[in-house]
């Protein structure tokens, strides 16, 4: 295949890179540094500009809080193109918030550990990259300690998220029933996202009322995790979030072994790992659905829907062989087929599926990338090849958008992708996929 977009992908990353040492996900729509975006972006940079990959991670870690927490958005600059900004979030209500960087008081999937390992593998100057990792890995370890000490109130090895923005899959139909479970005020605010993107591709005003209200509750708790666990109406054990943590635990173990002299940390990581994987399989695996699902910790019940996050545990080596086989069968039968690109973000056979709206159905490049490596892990090379070629085909057809229609027939002449354009992680992960 002729990878004709490789230069365009590099240009997008270079254009989105900012003087202060981080990369915006997309101009206008997302004008700051986002945690998991930064991780994927660093992987893309590692393929052609390793110094920028290091800078991206370094800048992210600079914003870490004293307790190990890493925020989901770091507001490096002022911007009037995004809402809600730092004045709404007021992260400094938390006594240990970073004094130098303004941020949100919520986090995002903990990708940094596996990103470090991935960058180590990509880099050609191994000694140099290992030095970089040596200097930064303890901060990532501290972040994992933070999770296990503060976000796991029942000591299960599964951490909670208290906001849909922490999941990364912001308006997934998974949250719909949670929204039904409590009332919210009608906020008066000016949306900014819908001035960049067609509103039919973004969350609704009503959904934003919920998003803002849970931030307000967290603020009342002064972003104290124990209080949030008591009071937040949104409290979920998310399979994608926990799979990223488990994958990153594993990467930290591998990297500490290469570095040497870190036996105590390796032992601790292995303990977390064992407990997390056991609970993950007993609590988040739904035998009947043949998929991993979310658990609503507040209302104490499983959320029995299948989404692309359902397949992410493959990436972290969580399912046994038999579970992996079932999982892949579920993906092929519900999400696959001649007329569909892999992998829709939400079950296309469900009446909650919406092919155009943000996380309610469209294909996302980062989830495809996660599932691709997960399938390779388990030796499902043919279907791995398919998800990779689907991803490349879509990107080459319409360019580096934020998300894409999973229905092949939707690609008529006028079609392009959805959401933001010149989207950094779509470009970054394209560079990784074509180099694999
Ligand atoms: C947004 O503003 O839509 C972001 O995804 C929040 O993280």
**Pocket-testing residue among 24, 25, 26, 30, ligand 1, by greatest number of atoms within 8 A of Cβ:** 30
CA of 22 to the centre of ligand 1 (A): 17
Task: Point out the ligand 1 atom lying closest to the alpha carbon of residue 73.
Answer: 7
Domain count, the chain: 1
Residues 170-210: pLDDT tens digits?
Answer: 999 999 999 999 999 999 999 999 999 999 999 999 999 99
User: Is ligand 1 within 6 A of the CB of residue 170?
Assistant: yes
165 lines ligand 1 (CB under 6 A): yes
* pLDDT, tens digit, 9 for 90 and up, residues 83-121: 999 999 999 999 999 999 999 999 999 999 999 999 999
Q: What is d(CA 184, CA 244) in angstroms, rounded to the nearest whole number?
A: 31
State the Cα–Cα distance between residues 104 and 50, nearest whole angstrom: 28
> Which of 26, 165, 212 has the most ligand 1 atoms within 8 A of CB, as the residue to mutate?
165
Quote the domain boundaries for residue 429.
Answer: 3-435
192 C-alpha vs ligand 1 centroid, how far in Å?
11
CA 235 / ligand 1 centre spacing (Å): 18
| Structure token digits, residue 264 | 């105590």
Q: What is the pLDDT of residues 238-270, one digit of tens each?
A: 999 999 999 999 999 999 999 999 999 999 999
Task: Give the pLDDT band (50/70/90) at residue 413.
Answer: confident
The CB of 192 under 6 Å from ligand 1? The reply is no
- Encode pLDDT of 269-303 as tens digits: 999 999 999 999 999 999 999 999 999 999 999 99
Residue 2 has pLDDT above 70, yes or no: no
Q: Is the bond preceding 84 in cis, omega lying within 30 degrees of 0?
A: yes
pLDDT digits (tens, 9 = 90+) for 56-80: 999 999 999 999 999 999 999 989 8
Catalytic residues: 170, 402
What number of other Cβ atoms are within 10 A of residue 231's Cβ? 15
158/279 Cα distance (integer angstroms): 7
Provide the pLDDT for residue 222: 98
CATH of the domain at 196: 1.50.10.10
pLDDT for res 1:
47
> What digits encode the pLDDT tens for the residues 118-150?
999 999 999 999 999 999 999 999 999 999 999
Rounded CA separation 355/409 (Å): 12
pLDDT at 412: 85
**Looking at residue 148, what is its pLDDT?**
98
Distance 338 CA to ligand 1 centre (A): 32
Share of the chain above pLDDT 70, in %: 100
Query: How many whole angstroms from its chain centre is CA 367?
Result: 8
What integer is the mean pLDDT of 314-335? 98
The answer on pLDDT for 374 being more than 60 is yes
Q: Is this model's pTM higher than 0.75 or not?
A: yes
């Amino acid at each position: 295949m002729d990878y004709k977009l490789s230069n365009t992908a590099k240009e997008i990353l270079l254009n989105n890179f900012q003087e202060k040492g981080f990369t915006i996900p997309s101009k206008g729509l997302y004008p700051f540094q986002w945690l998991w975006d930064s991780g994927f972006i660093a992987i893309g940079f590692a393929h052609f500009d390793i110094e920028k990959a290091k800078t991206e991670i370094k800048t992210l870690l600079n914003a870490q809080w004293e307790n190990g927490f890493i925020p989901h958005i770091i507001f490096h600059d002022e911007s009037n193109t995004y809402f809600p900004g730092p004045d709404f979030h007021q992260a400094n209500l938390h006594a240990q918030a970073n004094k130098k960087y303004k941020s949100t008081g919520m986090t995002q999937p903990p990708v940094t550990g596996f990103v470090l390992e991935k960058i180590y593998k990509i880099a050609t100057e191994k000694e140099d990259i290992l030095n970089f990792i040596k200097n930064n890995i303890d901060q990532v370890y501290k972040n994992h300690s933070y999770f296990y000490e503060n976000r796991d109130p029942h000591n299960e090895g599964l951490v909670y998220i208290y906001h849909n923005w922490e999941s990364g899959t912001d308006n997934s139909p998974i949250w719909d029933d949670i929204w039904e479970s409590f009332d919210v005020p009608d906020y008066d605010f000016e949306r900014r996202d819908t001035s960049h993107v067609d509103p039919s591709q973004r969350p609704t005003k009503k959904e934003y009322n919920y998003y803002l209200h849970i931030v307000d509750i967290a603020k009342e708790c002064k972003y104290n995790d124990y209080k949030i666990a008591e009071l937040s109406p949104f409290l979920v054990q998310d399979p994608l979030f926990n799979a990223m943590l488990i994958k990153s635990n594993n990467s930290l173990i591998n990297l500490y072994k290469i570095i040497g002299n870190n036996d105590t940390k390796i032992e601790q990581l292995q303990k977390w790992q064992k407990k997390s994987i056991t609970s993950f399989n007993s609590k988040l695996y739904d035998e009947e659905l043949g998929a991993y699902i979310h658990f609503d910790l507040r209302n104490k019940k499983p959320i029995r829907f299948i989404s692309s996050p359902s397949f992410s545990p493959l990436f972290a080596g969580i399912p046994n062989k038999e579970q992996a086989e079932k999982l892949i069968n579920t993906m092929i039968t519900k999400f696959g087929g001649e007329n569909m690109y892999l992998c829709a973000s939400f079950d296309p056979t469900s009446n909650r599926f919406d092919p155009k709206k943000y996380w309610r159905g469209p294909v996302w490049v980062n989830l495809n990338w996660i599932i691709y490596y997960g399938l390779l892990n388990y030796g499902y090379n043919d279907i791995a090849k398919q998800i990779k070629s689907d991803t490349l085909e879509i990107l080459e057809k319409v360019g580096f958008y934020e998300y894409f229609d999973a229905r092949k027939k939707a690609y008529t002449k006028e079609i392009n992708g959805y959401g933001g354009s010149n989207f950094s992680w779509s470009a970054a992960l394209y560079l990784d996929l074509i180099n694999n």
